[in-house]
């Protein structure tokens, strides 16, 4: 007997839901119960009356498993719509990170130089440390954090991915 396994691919999902208590727990529970990993998760209200939220989920799964995930999310009552932005095509993804770096002398100068190259902003500074704010694609932030590791990285806080489809149509 030959069992065929499909390679897992990274997918970014936009899930539009009623903004009610427990919905995030139900969605996370769906992933947990079926053994799906959530790589990134962000939630925000998207309407002026704060009744609807958008959840952006990054996960990796085979195409068949991704179909199951989307179908199961669609069946949850307060879910209005699930869009696989990866399958849909061109979309924009961004993440924000706060990066704390300590250093004096040449390390401090190098941290500022690298921040300029990566368009990171200084949002807090002391005589011995900085907190940089950097936004962009995940690869850009990963590289910035890696480089800060060489000049005095102390701590990193990341928001998770937010994403939106390109063009005129809503997710």
CATH number (domain holding residue 103): 3.30.70.1150
Q: Convert the pLDDT of each residue in 33-73 to its tens digit.
A: 988 999 999 999 999 999 999 999 999 998 899 999 999 99
In the chain, the percentage of residues whose pLDDT exceeds 70 is 96
In whole angstroms, give the CA distance from residue 112 to residue 108: 6
Regarding whether 77 and 40 lie in a shared domain, the answer is yes
This prediction's pTM = 0.84
Regarding whether 103 and 160 lie in a shared domain, the answer is yes
Domain that holds residue 85: 9-89
Write down the pLDDT at residue 169. 76
SS3 164: strand
12: Cβ–Cβ under 8 A, 6 or more apart, which residues?
A: 56, 57, 58, 84, 85, 86, 91, 93, 161, 163
In whole angstroms, give the CA distance from residue 95 to residue 160: 6
In a domain, 149, yes or no: yes
Average pLDDT over residues 8-17: 94
């Amino acid at each position: 007997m030959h069992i065929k396994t499909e390679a897992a691919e990274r997918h970014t999902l936009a899930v539009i839901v009623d903004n009610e208590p427990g919905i995030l727990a139900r969605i996370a529970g769906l992933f947990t119960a079926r053994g799906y990993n959530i790589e990134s998760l962000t939630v925000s209200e998207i309407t002026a009356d704060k009744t609807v939220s958008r959840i952006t989920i990054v996960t990796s799964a085979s195409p068949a498993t991704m179909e199951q995930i989307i179908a199961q999310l669609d069946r949850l009552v307060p879910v209005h719509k699930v869009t696989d932005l990866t399958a849909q095509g061109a979309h924009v993804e961004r993440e924000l990170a706060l990066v704390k770096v300590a250093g004096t002398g040449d390390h401090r100068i190098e941290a500022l130089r690298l921040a300029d190259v990566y368009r990171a902003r200084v949002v807090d500074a002391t005589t011995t440390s900085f907190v940089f704010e950097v936004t962009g694609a995940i690869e850009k932030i990963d590289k910035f954090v890696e480089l800060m590791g060489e000049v005095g990285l102390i701590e990193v806080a990341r928001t998770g991915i937010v994403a939106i489809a390109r063009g005129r149509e809503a997710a």
